[in-house]
Structure 1
Amino acid sequence: MKKGILSFASLAFLGALMSAQEIKFEEYDLPNGLHVILHQDNSSPLVTTSVYYSVGSKDEAKGRTGFAHFFEHLLFEGTKNIKRGDWSKIVSSNGGGNNATTDNDRTYYYEDFPSNNEQLGLWMEAERMRHAVISQIGVDTQREVVKEEKRLRFDNRPYGNLFTAITQTMFPASQYGWTPIGSMDDLNSAKLEEFQDFYKKFYIPNNAVLVVAGDIKPAQTKKWINDYFSTIPKGASITRNFTEDSPITQEKSVTFTDPNIQLPMYLYSYRTPGNTTRDSKIMDLVSSYLSGGKSSVLYKKLVDQDKKALQVSAESLAFEKAGVFACIAIPMGKTPEGELRSAIDNEIKKLQTDLISDEDLQKLQNKFENQFVNQNSNIHSRAESLATYYALTGNTNLINKEIDIYRGITKEDIRNAAKKYLNPNQRIIINYVPEKK
């Protein structure tokens, strides 16, 4: 019966993949270095205009953290031709939506418009790149916005500074050692000229990818792009001084306290390769095998059977140049940390010793094939994927081919990766515990 169910599921996923057409695109470079990607899909009257800037928290300097995320806010303040406070008003009054996101490696801005306002989206992003106003009033205003965001999302939220604990612990030397929100002290002490210099350094066409996706007419789109972007001056070449962290060769334990929690959380954290590597994708499968749902081995063992954990997961998080794999557990009752660690280590040891079953491998591949199809199921997500694949790898067609990497992962690959990266002498135990009253 199980084989029959699995075969039916496999056929369903295969059908979904076959029905997902190849994503076609056109790409070229402007003389100023701006990389342009066009994706035409006239199935609905919508257009996404987005710009990916290769600047994230890893491009900051110690003592001046939080700049990349700060600009995610600051560059909605206004431009030479868009009055302060009018950016979102213009977008919403023309039937659109807009936002931006920042992570450790990039900052991404977008507008979603009805296709009859495609030109407006292009003009606005060109304004952001060419004419953003970096003023003292804008800096002061957005400092307060970011402070409030930090209070709400991090300082006053249960387990809110968990990611901070991970980055500080796992990347003590490199620029991945702080989170994109950064330090409020750093932002407070920075002068206006430093923000202006950051804009001039990173917000340049030769550090950006422009994507226009949706209901477009490519010839007209190219003309608008040429009109608005081609005359923006090319910026100076960017020197990126990334510091590599030394390998972890001996297990150690660190403790962080959180006043907003009542239950401790324990993390068994290992350093892994960056997200452009094949091994990073193998670790994605390892993560899913260990804790992908209630049928996963860690959940069944620690939560269902032994009742030792209230919650357990294995998370694979990869940045451009490095990654983290963490097994995370919240104990049930007064279960000692050592018992959780022993149980998790036993499951990892099995993974390092025995091959997973054919059925389990097929389930994992089905899951990732389904995710691959879903993540590119609409215009907005396709635009972001196109920009990301080009910026990180130089291979935009991975939007069609990355799934082949996951399909090619074998049971031996999973066992070998667990052996290579998940050993006790390669980890740091993070005790994230309630602050004593």
Structure 2
Amino acid sequence: MTVGLGLLFLCCGSAPLSASLNISVSHYQLKNGLQVILSEDFTLPLISVAVTYKAGSLHDPPGKSGLAYLIENLMFLGSDNVGQMQHIGYVTRTGGTLNAATMADRTIFYQTVPSNQLALVLWLESDRMKSLQVSPAKVEAAKNELLSELRRRHQETPYLEAFFRFDRMLFPAPAAHRPIIGLEEDIKSITYEDAQNFHRQRYGPQNALLCVTGSFNTLQLRDLVNRYFESIPRSHDTLPPPVLPEPDKTSGMETSRAASIPAPSVLVGFRIHSARAVDMHVLTLIDYILCRGKTSRLVQRTIKRDRLASQITGSLERRGDLAAYRIFAVNNSEYSARLCVGSIYSELARMRTNFISEEELNRAKNRWKKDLLNRLSSRADKALFLSELALNYGDPRAGSLDIGRFQEVTPLMIAGLLNRYFYKENSQVLYILK
């Protein structure tokens, strides 16, 4: 079934202008369980192919953090008909680009190539889906690469260990706070059998999603998808996702000291106990109101007015059905870091008791819509966006519903979630000091 997603965007200005962005989307499933999403776009002779596996750090076995990330690396080390690193060579020789990413609940491989190379990319992705070659030597090579990257990140990101520590504070369940890249001792303990079993359990077609966007003939593309993917057998060892217990609504405060950090800083986080879809839309707009842009509340309060921070950012993070909102502020002294936390609490208290104006809420919605438009400006980003909708809602055509939920958010809904989660007794604080 193919439908057009009518997405309504309001442009910033004194008189809002509306523009319709129609995305043609086809969504179906092969007999082996592989979900397929097709979206035509003939503006340029390019196509993007994204394959998403429901395998991420949440699924790493206990004591084996980094395993999903290791499999991401192994996926480039050869399959039955494609040699080591040849996938990259095939794509780049066409003038194409490619990338991959491991997240808490998924691993994504995506590439953009000229549209006449569509069959090549489908063949490459199908070959490693059905016949990835995992060997003890390749596992050891991938482990060494991960260990090198982990050491490099520690050198380049002085706050990294503090970020890992804060994850443990926000998400007490071990499966939820495992670093995606893994811990050094866990990476060293990964065996060939661990990698082989994890791949067999998590990387079958019934646990994957194929999305193609760009300039193609839909009937021809369906034939290609059937030719390359339909014969791949299901994996019979798929494991259910981990069940994450909800953490208590309690507060915590810790201090981390590291001589290598460039400046004293502080992390403040609020646990969100049920990441319901309707709440995520409100929480996203709270993020925009608090930390996105020069006019956001915490930028104006902590940087412009109180001069307690030189930088402040916020992020909404999900771990399965759990979520948290994280604020990171860079300060010029330990004293200003402690005062900065007080300013954050004070601004949140003001927002809990005084509704934000419709004007301020509409500014946040407009910034979000602008960012969404930017996400849809390339075929690769569009493929990732449609894949995300399919994973989050079970249907990539939920885009119009997604937009509608954002438009329906009211000041009362903002205040309701702020009062439910954003208060001192439900906060975790980590001071990062020299």
**Superposition TM-score, scaled by structure 2 size:** 0.92
Structure 2 counterpart of 1:267: 267
Query: What is aligned with 2:116?
Result: 116
Q: In the alignment, does 2:15 pair up with 1:9?
A: no
Matched, 1:364 2:367: no
* Structure 1 position 241, deviation (Å): 5.1
Spell out, residue by residue over 1:69-107, the C-alpha distance to the aligned partner (whole angstroms, 9 max, x if none).
111111100111112232211222222222211110100
Aligned residues: 425
Matching of residue 152 in structure 1 with residue 163 in structure 2: no
How far the C-alpha of 1:10 sits from its partner, in A, is 4.0
- The 5-angstrom pairing of residues 278-427 of structure 1 reads 278-333=278-333, 335-427=335-427
Contact 1:72 1:107 (8 Å CA) reproduced: yes
User: 1:326 Cα shift?
Assistant: 2.2
Task: Name the CA shift for 1:95/1:338 in 2 (closer, same or farther; >3 Å).
Answer: closer
Deviates more, 1:352-361 or 1:166-175: 166-175
Percent sequence identity is 26
> How far off its partner does 1:34 sit?
0.6
Q: Deviations over 1:191-224 (max 9, x none)?
A: 2111111111111000000111111111111111
How far the C-alpha of 1:55 sits from its partner, in A, is: 0.6
Q: 1:407 to 1:82 in 2, by over 3 A?
A: same
Whether the 8 Å contact between 2:264 and 2:337 is mirrored in structure 1 is: no
Structure 1: gaps spanning 5 or more residues? 1-6
* 3-state SS, counterpart of residue 310 of structure 2: strand
Whether contact under 8 Å (2:34, 2:205) holds in the other structure is yes
How far does residue 275 in structure 1 lie from its aligned partner after superposition? 5.5
Higher alpha-carbon deviation: 396-405 or 235-244: 235-244
Aligned to 2:198: 198
Q: Which residue of 1 aligns with 2:4?
A: none
Farther off after superposition, 137-146 or 325-334: 325-334
Q: CA 1:40–1:218 in 2, change beyond 3 Å: closer, same or farther? A: same
By how many angstroms is 1:318 displaced?
A: 2.8
In the alignment, is the contact (CA less than 8 A) between 1:79 and 1:128 conserved in 2? yes
TM alignment of 1:122-141, pairs within 5 A? 122-141=122-141
Counterpart CA distance in 2 for 1:195 and 1:73 is 11
Superposed CA deviations along residues 280-299 of structure 1, whole A, max 9, x for unmatched, are 22122112212222222222
Q: Distance in 2 between matches of 1:14 and 1:370?
A: 13
Give the drift of 1:273: 4.9
Conserved? CA contact 1:275–1:281, under 8 Å: no
Amino acid across the alignment from 1:9: C
Match of 1:49, SS? strand
One-letter amino acid of the structure 2 residue matched with residue 77 of structure 1: L
The one-letter amino acid of 2:102's match is: T
Give the aligned partner of residue 216 of structure 1.
216
Shift of 1:162: 4.0
Distance 1:123 1:275, change over 3 A: farther
C-alpha contact (below 8 Å) 2:291/2:312 kept by paired residues:
yes
CA contact (8 A) 2:265 2:337 kept: no
Q: Is the 8 A contact 1:22 1:400 kept in 2?
A: no
Q: Equivalent residue for 2:6?
A: none
Query: Unpaired segments of 5 or more residues in structure 2?
Result: 1-9
Q: What residue identity is the alignment partner of 1:255?
A: T
**Structure 1 residue 131 displacement after superposition:** 0.8
CA shift in 2, pair 1:157/1:314, >3 Å: closer
1:45: how far off? 0.8
1:258 to 2:258 alignment: yes
The 1:94/1:292 distance shift into structure 2, 3 A limit, reads closer
SS of residue paired to 1:359: helix
Residue 136 of structure 1, CA deviation = 1.9
8 A contact 2:289–2:297 mirrored in 1:
yes
Match of 1:4 in 2: none
Report the 3-state secondary structure (helix = DSSP H, G, I; strand = E; otherwise coil) of the residue aligned with 1:219: helix
Kindly report the root-mean-square deviation, in angstroms, between the aligned alpha carbons of the 2 structures.
Answer: 2.0
2:200 and 2:179 map into 1 onto residues whose CA distance is 23
Question: Residues of 2 paired with 1:146 and 1:161: CA distance?
Answer: 16
Q: Which residue of 1 aligns with 2:167?
A: 167
Q: Distance in 2 between matches of 1:204 and 1:189?
A: 25
| Cα deviation, residue 367, structure 1 | 1.0
